[in-house]
A and B are shown apart, each in its own frame.
Chain A
Amino acid sequence: MMRKRTPAVGLGLAWLFALGAAVVAFAQPRSGIVRPTTEPAVPSAGLGAELYAGNCASCHGIAGAGIRSPRPGAGDILGAGPPLRGVGALAPDFYLRMGFMPLGNIHDQPGPEQERVLFSDTEVRSIVAYVASLGSGPAIPQPRPSTGSLAEGQQSFALRCAGCHQIVGRGGFVTGAEVPPLQNVSATKIAEAVRIGPYLMPRFSTTQISNSELNSIVRYVRSTNHPDNHGGWSIGNLGPIPEGLVAWWIAGPLLIISCRMVGRRRRR
């Protein structure tokens, strides 16, 4: 029923929440989460709106309007965030469940170094419901990797993803940002990232990567959790850097020990 509310009412409500929350927020520690005093046990867009006002609005604006020029907001956070109207359930679900949001600093990369989820499942669902209600947008994708083809996934990943994420999904570096490794990321989260294009990552729509191809990509990425390491100890599936370290720091000492054993200095 909350979802059916008109934008104008939502705006008004959010404004009220924001006002109220801002007062509470100033008393909160930096990057602490602002919660209503009595939190309902079932997720609701109403709770989402409260949480949004207290924790998101300082950057993303009133009712997801976005803030383009930084200004100090709740908890001294320098606010400037993209508008959230029309992002649907997709984006908030991804960012909150990955722990990318809320950010401590707007110039931080939302990424693996802040891997923490600050909201409970009920809270996340509430915020997702609230943000989705701000405008019509994409739903949370439901990939079925088991229907995908590993080979198609490998080819698509090599063409579009490996440049940044490394061919076995070990992450890497692009000038300006860190690229997260893809192990221990759920199928839904992988699919969401492909459709959102978080931070500096390109966004791939259904015209470029169909849902069935996405299933294949997800299947391939999930397979990198346990790549086929026929050859023994995988040393990280990273290629020559760990190999060089093994050559110098494991084989090297072993061979020096061999030399010393065989050719021990004569004692007189």
Chain B
Amino acid sequence: MSDPIRDPVRFVDERTSAAPLMRKALRYLFPDHWSFLLGEVALYAFMVLIATGIYLALFYDPSTAKTVYHGAYTPLDGETMSAAYKSVLDISLTYKAGLLIRQTHHWAADIFMVSIVLHLMRVFFTGAFRKPRELTWVIGLTLLFVGLLEGFAGYSLVDDLLSGMGLAIGYGVGLSLPVIGGPMTLAIFGAPFPGNTHFFSRLYIAHVFLLPILLAVLIGAHLALIAARHHTQFREGPRTTERRIVGVPMFPAQLPRSLALLFFVAGVLFLLGGLVQINPIWQWGPFEPWLGTNGAQPDWYLGWLIGALRLMPSFDVTIGHWTLIPNPFWGGALFPLVVVGVLGAFPWLERRFTGDRSVHNLADRPRDAPNRTAFGVAFLTWVFLIFVFGAADRIFVLFGLSYNTQLAIFRIGIWVIPLALFFLTRRLCRDRVAAERIDAEQKQAEREAEEHARSLTAAPAGRAP
């Protein structure tokens, strides 16, 4: 008798012996909490990025050769521009559905990074990075930073006014690295900014091949490690323990949910791509090294770096007339290195502080680890405030708060506010836990009293024959 499922399974199993693995995968358990889905959102945004990116690659031309534009957009008619910029203008304004795909691609990049950050916060505040999941955590962080580079490469490829300014800053930060800065940046660009003719094809290969492959491999490793160790789970009832996981199986329960999420993510991205304009490059015009526009900003996920670059006081480290460490190093290189270093080392730092070396499969509620939660809040606030200062010029234009005043407030605030929040958060967590303990003790006492009372009233009846 033929069976539409069993026959192909038999075919595969007879040739691979993969049936036990498939059987196991079907019944792989997912703990049941919405916050575990944030990482999946990032995965699906990545899928949309790949799909839309392939379409864009059909039309994009990674060449800085100069052409004169005579296309659909009249305000740029007759302007000399790179073939790269012209090809993106054509994608946006000439090829059917090109703009939808380009905008969806850009939104997907922004939201890929949003969901990674949300996912990172969930993992951090529930202590899900602890043994045995430190490697998953480190790979996840690497994904965040590779994603950041990938995004930077992506919007730099357009070669419009904003992207050119961003590349200039990237060049400046690259040069500022001590010792290796000059040679390394020259090697990448092939020549001083804006680089030689090879630079754009290098950037292109990085954006469409090297970095996506790296991302895909890292995502694969991330998922494999999760599968090997399962998700953490919240303590819900007596069945969830450090040794036993309770959840719904991949098939049938989880599959339609995950697919639904995939379609929700794609739906939101396509709606944004259709309805909300992102990076209207035809309005920015072509880049030349001598041009600049006010209010130039990077995409949001690099905003913390521009904030740090703007916040730094004016100084290079010099000896006589020799510059040792140029200024952009502090905000553009050291700052992100400190952030990734602290986050990457956090599982081991925490172990050092708490002396807790045991395996943890149960996720903490944030209040259960007051020190960690307080540190996380303070650290994120620190980065967030620096990020906000990156928009200080727009804040001034919108709200009239002078740039100078903001500079003074932020230079103090980025240290004082996180410190204050550290102590406040720790206090709140501890109070909350203490209140719960009192509550629990009270209930326990009430229960005991009730039992006692019951035994008292039951006893005479029991004694009487």
Contact present between A and B (CB < 8 A):
yes
Q: Tell me the residues in window 153-187 of chain A with beta carbons closer than 8 Å to chain B beta carbons.
A: 153-155, 158-159, 162-168, 170-175, 178-179, 181
Given contacts A173-B396, A238-B394, A247-B114, are A230 and B99 in contact (CB under 8 A)? yes
A231: nearest chain-B partner, CB-CB: B277
- For residue B438, CB closer than 8 A to chain A, the reply is no
Interface size class of A (residues with CB under 8 A): 35 or more
Q: Are B295 and A170 in contact (CB under 8 A)?
A: yes
In the assembled complex, the Cα of A122 lies from the Cα of B298 at a distance in Å of 49
Q: How far is the CB of A233 from chain B (nearest CB, A)?
A: 5
Interface core residue of A171, A244, A248 (most chain B CB under 10 Å): A244
Q: Map CB proximity to B onto A220-243 as digits: 1 under 8 Å, 0 otherwise.
A: 100100011111111101111101
- For residue B336, CB closer than 8 A to chain A, the reply is no
Q: Are A259 and B34 in contact (CB under 8 A)?
A: yes
> For A227, what are the chain B residues with a Cβ–Cβ distance below 8 Å?
280, 283
Q: Are B110 and A150 in contact (CB under 8 A)?
A: no
In the assembled complex, the Cα of A246 lies from the Cα of B37 at a distance in Å of 21
In the assembled complex, the Cα of A243 lies from the Cα of B151 at a distance in Å of 14
> For B268, what are the chain A residues with a Cβ–Cβ distance below 8 Å?
251, 254-255, 258
Q: Are A263 and B300 in contact (CB under 8 A)?
A: no
Q: Are A239 and B295 in contact (CB under 8 A)?
A: yes
> For A229, what are the chain B residues with a Cβ–Cβ distance below 8 Å?
277, 280
Q: Tell me the residues in window 193-219 of chain A with beta carbons closer than 8 Å to chain B beta carbons.
A: none
Q: Are A167 and B391 in contact (CB under 8 A)?
A: no
A227: nearest chain-B partner, CB-CB: B283
Q: Are A234 and B277 in contact (CB under 8 A)?
A: yes
> For A155, what are the chain B residues with a Cβ–Cβ distance below 8 Å?
79, 285
- For residue A113, CB closer than 8 A to chain B, the reply is yes
- For residue B371, CB closer than 8 A to chain A, the reply is no
> For B236, what are the chain A residues with a Cβ–Cβ distance below 8 Å?
266, 268
Interface core residue of B32, B285, B303 (most chain A CB under 10 Å): B285
- For residue A32, CB closer than 8 A to chain B, the reply is no
Q: Are A251 and B272 in contact (CB under 8 A)?
A: yes
Given contacts A237-B280, A259-B34, are A158 and B161 in contact (CB under 8 A)? yes
Q: How far is the CB of B89 from chain A (nearest CB, A)?
A: 11
Query: How many residues of B are counted as interface, with CB atoms below 8 angstroms from the partner's CB atoms?
Result: 68
A174: nearest chain-B partner, CB-CB: B294
Q: Identify B34's interface contact among A234, A254, A260, CB under 8 A.
A: A260
Given contacts A231-B280, A262-B260, are A162 and B79 in contact (CB under 8 A)? no
Q: Identify A239's interface contact among B99, B279, B290, CB under 8 A.
A: B279
Q: Are A243 and B278 in contact (CB under 8 A)?
A: yes
Q: Are B303 and A171 in contact (CB under 8 A)?
A: no
Q: Are A163 and B277 in contact (CB under 8 A)?
A: no
Binds A, one of B69-77, B127-135, B173-181, B418-426: B69-77
- For residue B84, CB closer than 8 A to chain A, the reply is no
> For B346, what are the chain A residues with a Cβ–Cβ distance below 8 Å?
none
> For A107, what are the chain B residues with a Cβ–Cβ distance below 8 Å?
none
- For residue A4, CB closer than 8 A to chain B, the reply is no
In the assembled complex, the Cα of A241 lies from the Cα of B394 at a distance in Å of 8
> For A232, what are the chain B residues with a Cβ–Cβ distance below 8 Å?
103, 274-277
Q: Map CB proximity to A onto B89-115 as digits: 1 under 8 Å, 0 otherwise.
A: 000110000010001000100110011
> For A171, what are the chain B residues with a Cβ–Cβ distance below 8 Å?
294, 397
Q: Are B277 and A158 in contact (CB under 8 A)?
A: no
Q: Are A239 and B162 in contact (CB under 8 A)?
A: yes
Q: Map CB proximity to A onto B189-213 as digits: 1 under 8 Å, 0 otherwise.
A: 0000000000000000000000000
- For residue A5, CB closer than 8 A to chain B, the reply is no
Interface of A is mostly: helix
Q: Map CB proximity to A onto B363-374 as digits: 1 under 8 Å, 0 otherwise.
A: 000000000000
- For residue B6, CB closer than 8 A to chain A, the reply is no
Given contacts A151-B77, A220-B75, A251-B268, are A240 and B299 in contact (CB under 8 A)? yes
Q: Are B279 and A243 in contact (CB under 8 A)?
A: yes
- For residue B17, CB closer than 8 A to chain A, the reply is no
A113: nearest chain-B partner, CB-CB: B400
> For A230, what are the chain B residues with a Cβ–Cβ distance below 8 Å?
92-93, 99, 277, 280, 282
In the assembled complex, the Cα of A243 lies from the Cα of B303 at a distance in Å of 12
In the assembled complex, the Cα of A172 lies from the Cα of B34 at a distance in Å of 42
In the assembled complex, the Cα of A162 lies from the Cα of B274 at a distance in Å of 28
Q: Are A162 and B41 in contact (CB under 8 A)?
A: no
- For residue B323, CB closer than 8 A to chain A, the reply is no
- For residue B447, CB closer than 8 A to chain A, the reply is no
Q: How far is the CB of A166 from chain B (nearest CB, A)?
A: 4
> For A178, what are the chain B residues with a Cβ–Cβ distance below 8 Å?
396-397, 400
Q: Are A179 and B294 in contact (CB under 8 A)?
A: yes
Given contacts A230-B93, A244-B299, A247-B110, are A235 and B403 in contact (CB under 8 A)? no
Q: Are A167 and B284 in contact (CB under 8 A)?
A: yes
Q: Identify A235's interface contact among B269, B276, B282, CB under 8 A.
A: B276
B258: nearest chain-A partner, CB-CB: A262
> For A220, what are the chain B residues with a Cβ–Cβ distance below 8 Å?
75
Q: Are A248 and B300 in contact (CB under 8 A)?
A: yes
Q: Identify A240's interface contact among B107, B272, B282, B297, CB under 8 A.
A: B297
> For A172, what are the chain B residues with a Cβ–Cβ distance below 8 Å?
294-295, 393, 397
Q: Identify B403's interface contact among A151, A175, A262, CB under 8 A.
A: A175
Q: Identify A243's interface contact among B93, B291, B299, CB under 8 A.
A: B299
Q: Are A163 and B292 in contact (CB under 8 A)?
A: yes
> For B297, what are the chain A residues with a Cβ–Cβ distance below 8 Å?
239-241
B400: nearest chain-A partner, CB-CB: A113
- For residue B219, CB closer than 8 A to chain A, the reply is no
B113: nearest chain-A partner, CB-CB: A247
Instruction: Contacts A163-B293, A227-B280, A231-B92 known; list 18 others, CB within 8 Å.
Output: A150-B75, A154-B79, A179-B397, A230-B277, A231-B99, A232-B275, A237-B280, A239-B284, A240-B298, A243-B299, A244-B299, A247-B111, A247-B114, A251-B111, A255-B114, A258-B41, A259-B35, A262-B261
24 pairs from A and B in contact (CB 8 Å cutoff)? A158-B161, A162-B292, A162-B293, A166-B295, A170-B295, A173-B294, A223-B75, A228-B73, A228-B283, A229-B280, A230-B93, A231-B276, A232-B275, A239-B162, A239-B296, A239-B297, A244-B110, A254-B268, A255-B114, A255-B268, A258-B265, A261-B264, A263-B34, A265-B34
- Chain B contacts to A: CB under 8 angstroms: 32-38, 41, 73-79, 92-93, 99, 103, 107, 110-111, 114-115, 118, 161-162, 236-237, 257-258, 260-261, 264-265, 268-269, 272, 274-280, 282-285, 290-300, 303, 391, 393-394, 396-397, 400, 403
- Chain A contacts to B: CB under 8 angstroms: 113, 150-151, 153-155, 158-159, 162-168, 170-175, 178-179, 181, 220, 223, 227-235, 237-241, 243-244, 246-248, 250-252, 254-256, 258-266, 268
